[in-house]
Amino acid sequence: MVGLDARMVEVEVDISPGLPGTLVVGLPDIAVKEARDRVRSAIRNSGCLFPMKRITVNLAPADLKKFGPTYDLPIAICILACSGQIQIDSTQTLFLGELSLDGTVRHIHGILPMVAMAREQGVSKVFVPAQDAQEASLVDKLEVYPVISLSQLVAHFQGENTIQPFSGVTSWEDTGSSDAQFDLMHVRGQEHAKRGLEVAAAGGHNVLMVGPPGSGKTMLARALTTILPGMTITEAIEVTKIYSVSGLISSDSPLIRQRPFRAPHYSISHAGLVGGGRSPHPGEISLSHRGVLFLDEFPEFNHMALESLRQPLEDKIVTISRAEGSLTFPASFTLVAAMNPCPCGYYGDPVRECKCSSSTITRYQKKISGPLMDRIDIFLDVPRIEYEKLIDERSSESSASVRKRVQSARQIQLDRFNGTKLTSNSEMTAVEVKKYCTINADAQSLMKAAVKQLHFTARAFHRTLKLARTIADLDNSESIKISHLAEALQYRQRNINQ
């Protein structure tokens, strides 16, 4: 694996006379070099003979650095084949797996992207650890052989006990969110915020909620997952690849069916949020791909980590550069941020008095830079909930009914962008905005006044039009009316950090 992309590695073995020893070449890391000892013990404990000769193992291409224990099983198979103990036809065949000392084949990370790449390279058979067989079966037009142990695989090639291809079928169904405790019907009051979240879900727009402690910001953010449209099979495969590489896949249910919801603590490092490390791995923004990234206590996050969100929010990808090269991870997520209006949390609260000085409040709010705020589409005030609303027993609208409207709006967008890579209004570029977000003369007058009064940048102008397009889609309207634009404008920033 190189980032989220797999590269084909051919394992070559040569056995020659000389002092017994095993040499692994081809830029192996420590884990790959240690394969010598694991393979030796696994072969002996599987009832086979380990050649007491000079063994050279080459991992090609030689200029690609090799990481991890993925190469244990193919090295063992090559040694057994080279020593004449088994007969194999390695043409169009892929072997993946880590070996225990007793020969058991263990789970490895990144099975799905590896197997997907192998199919593109013309591979027709894959031998993988038994617990990874279901994940590998997500790639069609391949014969997947689940391997429990090296001795079982040796018996298979000797014709004694043939391994049958994996026959399980991973069904695909749109499950939505099953977290009933965060249903919108349980949120009392906050009707304006609920409507804002519906618009955000319908178009994939970023949201910032501002309100005092205990007003329901966290519960509203978690409720967003219950109204998001279900993932398509293509989106599910994309997300599953990321989680497979990160080692977060369950062998019982390898396909990610629900949109991710990630809520990292504000103490997270820059690398943890964006991704990185010596061998770069996906961060939280990639793990929230096609889902929601919830950042509570927004101003408390590290300044560098917050500023690193600017490129992913705009380009839907994150690029990590290292001395060896650059890697690109997908990062098409909906940002939901929440913050208090001041450090004590009660600035502007009608009940509790704020104890912060004006300079403290200004410094707190300016922790979030203008360029980052410019990339947020919807700004929601989440005020204190009155007692009468808390005890109101009348049931609110459920997430299921809101989700139907959101799905209908998303389907309109999918039909609109058919034949392109776009999936929602928030992903439109200036070209698509010009084509699909035209407004009439009355709406243009309103927009002109708003641009002057709110000092819109070009980015804010386009984001407002995209927001209005989403509201029109929710209203099942082909054109953007002045009422749609007016609602979009009321969600814009109200000089929070000035």
Q: What is the mean pLDDT of residues 473-496?
A: 88
Q: What is the mean pLDDT of residues 442-464?
A: 92
**Could you tell me the sign of the dihedral formed by the alpha carbons of 98, 103, 107, 113, in that order?**
positive
The structural domains of the chain, ordered by start, are 10-157 (3.30.230.10), 180-398 (3.40.50.300), 403-490 (no CATH)
Q: Which residue has the tokens 């039909």?
A: 415
Identify which of 383, 346, 385 has the alpha carbon closest to the alpha carbon of residue 364: 346
Confidence of residue 494 (pLDDT cuts 50, 70, 90): low
Confidence of residue 170 (pLDDT cuts 50, 70, 90): low
Q: What is the mean pLDDT of residues 52-60?
A: 96
pLDDT in tens, 116-135: 999 999 999 999 999 999 99
Helix/strand/coil for 127: strand
Strands (DSSP E) contained in 40-161 are 54-60, 93-95, 98-99, 105-106, 125-129, 143-147
Q: What is the mean pLDDT of residues 210-228?
A: 92
Top pLDDT among 94 and 498 is at: 94
Is pTM beyond 0.75? Reply is: yes
Tokens of 42: 């696994």
> How much of the chain, in percent, has pLDDT values that exceed 70?
96
Long-range contacts formed by 166-171: CB under 8 A, 24+ apart: 166/133, 166/134, 166/136, 166/137, 168/133, 168/134, 168/137, 169/137, 170/134, 170/137, 170/138, 170/254, 170/255
Q: How far apart are CA 461 and CA 468, in angstroms?
A: 11
> Are 51 and 15 in contact, with CB atoms under 8 Å apart?
yes
Helix/strand/coil for 466: helix
Q: What is the per-residue pLDDT for 169?
A: 62
Q: Is 50 exceeded by the pLDDT of residue 488?
A: yes
pLDDT in tens, 245-289: 998 988 777 889 889 999 999 999 999 999 987 778 899 999 999
| C-alpha separations of 456 from 31, 120, 441 in Å | 54, 47, 19
| C-alpha separations of 362 from 266, 305, 354, 461 in Å | 20, 21, 13, 26
| C-alpha separations of 64 from 9, 14, 25, 58, 110 in Å | 9, 20, 11, 12, 17
Q: What is the per-residue pLDDT for 497?
A: 44
Confidence of residue 498 (pLDDT cuts 50, 70, 90): very low
| Angle, in degrees to the nearest 10, between helices 191-203 and 217-224 | 30
Tokens of 14: 């040569």
On average, the pLDDT of the chain sits at 91
> Are 209 and 294 in contact, with CB atoms under 8 Å apart?
no
Tokens of 109: 């990370």
